[in-house]
Amino acid sequence: MSTQVFELRVIQSGGPAGGDAMRAALVRRAKRLAWLGIGWHVVEATVAVLAGLAASSVALIGFGADSVIESVAGFVVLWRFATSRPGAERRAQRLIAISFYVLAAYITVDAVRALVLADEPAVSWVGIGLAAVTAVTMPPLAIAKARVGAALSSSATASEGRQNMLCAYLSLGLLVGLGLNAAFGLWWADPLVALGIAAVAVREGRESWRGEDACCAVPGLADDCR
């Protein structure tokens, strides 16, 4: 029997050690999903930033910055579950919220600058390809994290999953901006899409900051929320 199947049965049945075994299995899964996301976002950020710099694309660079922020959020989740500590859930939740605000501020400044200076980006087929791949790969990861976050009653884990879903939405917006520029030369679509990205990031940051501490349906987690 694989480890994953065993963990599923532990979660469903409460054995062999009851609540402690259930929580341990869920935490292991949350960590694996966090590492998977971090690995992808490192690649994503590198490609997006290099392609954005080459094309002078604010939206593409912003997309790369979002990937960096999502990597940071993944490390926050890993820190959250490294050991049991008082208040860890609340602090992790707030740190992820702050990461959303940092992302929004960076993108807004760059997008406004591009609009004021009429900084026309070049066509980036690499960016278009990256956005297409991300739009397909991020939703399953986001859904998996949301389920684990709900099972653990961990707002921080669920918020990190929402960042992955936000990444999927942003990739669709990026496709629109880069596509309009490539097909019709509408350079202003790029920074406008970037401003849309910033607005969504602010909303997600607010929801993460105000999110319930979810203390705590899973045995052994309540002390971490206080």
Residue in the block written with tokens 């679509």: 189
Return d(Cα 133, Cα 84) in angstroms, integer: 36
Alpha helices by DSSP H, 81-226:
88-117, 125-152, 155-184, 189-210, 222-225
| pLDDT tens column, 35-91 | 998 999 999 999 999 998 888 887 788 788 878 888 888 888 888 787 666 667 778
Q: Which amino acid is at 208?
A: S
What are the sequence ranges of the domains in the chain? 29-218
Residue 125: Cβ-neighbour burial (10 angstroms; 0-12, 13-18, 19+): exposed
- The pLDDT value recorded for residue 84 is 64
Q: Residue 19: which residues within 8 A CB-CB, separation 6 or more?
A: 218, 219, 220
| Rounded Cα–Cα distance for residues 192 and 57 (Å) | 11
Q: Which amino acid is at 92?
A: A
Backbone angles phi, psi at 40, to 5 degrees: -65, -40
The alpha-helical segments, DSSP class H, found in 118-154 are 125-152
* Residue 112: per-residue pLDDT: 87
Nearest to 61 by CA among 117, 126, 133: 126
**Are the C-beta atoms of 96 and 111 separated by less than 8 Å?**
no
pLDDT at 86: 61
Taking the chain, what is the end-to-end CA distance rounded to the nearest angstrom? 37
* Backbone φ and ψ of 223, nearest 5°: -65, -30
Percent of the chain past pLDDT 70, that is, above it, reads: 81
Tokens 């929004």 found at: 104
Contact 126, 47 (CB under 8 A): yes
- Best CA proximity match to 12, nearest among 29, 26, 1: 26
User: DSSP letter at 65?
Assistant: H
- Splitting the chain (226 residues) into consecutive groups of 10 residues, what average pLDDT does each group show? 46 54 85 90 92 83 82 84 70 82 83 79 86 90 88 79 82 83 82 82 82 44 46
